[in-house]
Chain A
Amino acid sequence: MMNQWAFVIAAYAVTLAGTALVSLMSWRGMRSAERRADQLSDRG
């Protein structure tokens, strides 16, 4: 039987990777959309 720690590490890795990915994607999406909106506002 696999060591119990292997299951614990796998569960934490899945959670932290998923959370980091959705945070990063949301942040990048927000930054690029707000930058585009600001650029258009600056152009008048």
Chain B
Amino acid sequence: MPYWRWSVGPATDAILMHRFANPARFLKIARPLTGWLFWPGLLLLLSGAAVGLFVTPADYLQGQTVRILYIHVPAAWLGMGGWSGIAIAALMQLVWRHPLAAIAGRAIAAPGALFTAICLMTGSIWGRPTWGTWWEWDGRMTSMLVLFFLYLGYIALANASARQGQQGGVSNVTAIFGLVGAVNIPIINRSVVWWNSLHQGPSITLRGSSIDGSLLWPLGFTLLGFSLLFGAIVLMRMRAILAQNKVEARMQRLARG
């Protein structure tokens, strides 16, 4: 690659990234985008869930409980994707000092924790009739539980940051915690390969799926639907933090006279 591409490329990326550092510019996009993500997301997830419950056939081995797949997989995806988002936001905060990155990290944490909890609960509910147990301390389930505790730790640190006047964002210590915690993501992903587990191996990979097409297709609807909804929830929480910052700045100016 010629040297000028090295010098111009990252600079252009940085300019593009910092275009949205201005809250007013960000809000101009975030306000309409919230609805555009929320309503199609809700429609997709409800239609995918309805098809998964009433249209697709029961599995020859698992019976009706296979229908839990359509909510369990998106929850796992969002739990892991949420922490990946926190790690990217942390990197942007620490390296490029992007002012919205800290707010994005904070906004992702609560819905990320919720979907991780949903993944654990739906997995447990599925495990009882399928494996005969609610819980097993194997690699996949334990690493997912660790992710849930990481979220709780991040939320506690982020709340402490907010009390120390981080303008709705998170402190650098919290960002480093978010970055280090990302080590758990590949562990979750590879856990079923590295250790013997009750949990089945990877069913959906880049090379294809071991799930029959007649059962698989509604999963695309719920995956996309939950992902769009997650995006809308994160935008709502970012907008709330930015509005709170505006109020606090205004109150401080009024107090100073």
> Interface of A with B (CB < 8 Å)?
1-2, 4-5, 7-8, 10-12, 14-16, 18-19, 22-23, 26-27, 29-30, 33-34, 36-37, 40-41
Contacts and interface: CB of A to CB of B under 8 A. Distances in A.
Interface stretch (B114-122, B149-157, B172-180, B207-215): B114-122
Nearest to A1: B129
B117 A18 contact: yes
B118 A30 contact: no
Contacts, number: 93
Contact of B65 (A4, A19, A29, A30): A4
Contacts of B43: none
A7 B115 CA distance: 18
Interface SS of A by simple majority:
helix
Contact of A36 (B68, B129, B247): B247
Interface stretch (B3-11, B185-193, B238-246): B238-246
Nearest to B68: A11
A16 to B, nearest CB: 8
A8 B67 contact: yes
